[in-house]
Amino acid sequence: MGTQQFENNNPYRGYEGGSLAAGATDPASGTPTPAAPVNPAPFNFSSQPPAPPHPPAQQHGPKPPQPRKPRPVLTAVTAAALAAVLASGSTAYLMRDDAAVTGADQGAGLTQVQGISANADGSPDWEAVAAAVRPSVVAISVRTTQGEGAGSGVILDAEGHILTNNHVVAGAETVQVMLSDGRLYEATVVGTDPTTDLAVLELADPPDDLTPATLGTSEDLGVGESVMAVGNPLGLDSTVTTGIVSALDRPVTASAEGSSSATVTNAIQIDAAINPGNSGGPLFDSQGLVIGITSSIATLTGGQSGSIGLGFAIPVDLATTIADQLIADGRAEHAFLGVTLNEGEGTADGVTRQGAQVVEVVPDTPAAGAGLQPGDVIVAIDDSSVGSAESLTGFVRQYASGDEVTLTVIRDGESIDLTVTLATREEG
């Protein structure tokens, strides 16, 4: 199972819409692009091993006096204050909708159903939500040539498809899935997508009483909204934690060990406790609808590697798009622009903004056709602000090939809008 390294907001590593750029190999030309200077960045995300199947119980006595601690400094890729580690997560699919759909109405695809009502005072009824959703969450155990690991997943349909993270099952020789009632099933990998860190499994001989999750939408999430994470942290299956949405569209970058490809996600940031083993598990809203797949956490370097209230989930709208493709074809396609990027700033009408600065435009790509030029600073895509190269990459990956988007670009002191029709990135 490949470990991953997460990087957040590194101003010296560029990206194009769908692949690494500065300091990496240009996916369009196959030639290395120049590496920019490496200076300390605000955040650095380091790797963490997968959770063991079951943790030993520990008792904690009174703590002795602690010496004064130095200011935390990371030592991974660049100096920073935080390190993101693999957590645990997964998700399922359904749009928020007022119309209820019964199990008998479910077809072969993903379905929509009505969510769980709140308490009389408007507060979430977490007890009811937990009772309703836990049967749709599974614990995943894998064996690789490097050992064993554990993660989480969510049941997508009655056919036994399970959505999880790619890093949970990467390199797996055998996969075993445990339902919430303890029943065990062997599973096969239907398809994986390292670009988005998502994967779909299928149970061998699934039972006829599976409880697929109800998928919501991440499009209308709000900061401060209540959420619930359910998963298999440290082998403790069906663990439930709650919190809120702390931020939206938070750029999180991950690269699998031994791989040149990077996972760039504009993630949902949450403060609900998630830990190693939660990876691939679902994040629910207060109605019991899946809104994301928990995939990573941030942790202080040199200290305890558990949750510090900084967790990240892949938005369910993206997860649904990828899951549908993996189930249908075993692979996923990704839209791209065709540029290499770095961090940059642009000033127009007396206002300076951060954005994604174009370093190179690859010929015969959507970017070239739209008239993007080196030196342009992209500060928005459609109605979403772009604050970095990673942010733009994350947004582009949420679109499909053929989608038409509007880029707001600062060029020569002026703000202009360019219309771009995205295309499919050819996977190397």
Residues 374 and 407: their CA atoms lie apart, in Å, by 15
Of 130, 173, 172, 180, nearest to 154 by C-alpha is 180
Question: 157, 193, 197, 271: which is the annotated catalytic residue?
Answer: 197
Residues 250 and 310: their CA atoms lie apart, in Å, by 11
Q: List, in order, residues 6 or more apart from 208 with CB less than 8 Å away.
A: 158
Contact 73, 79 (CB under 8 A): yes
180 catalytic residue (yes or no): no
CA distances from 321 to 251, 373, 399 (A): 19, 31, 9
CA distances from 73 to 11, 80, 136, 354 (A): 18, 6, 40, 26
Question: 279, 296, 388, 391: which is the annotated catalytic residue?
Answer: 279
Question: 167, 218, 226, 285: which is the annotated catalytic residue?
Answer: 167
Residues 87 and 313: their CA atoms lie apart, in Å, by 10
279 catalytic residue (yes or no): yes
Report CA 262 to chain centroid distance, whole Å: 12
Residues 294 and 162: their CA atoms lie apart, in Å, by 14
Report CA 208 to chain centroid distance, whole Å: 30
286 catalytic residue (yes or no): no
Question: Amino acid identity, residue 28?
Answer: A
Residues noted as catalytic: 167, 197, 279
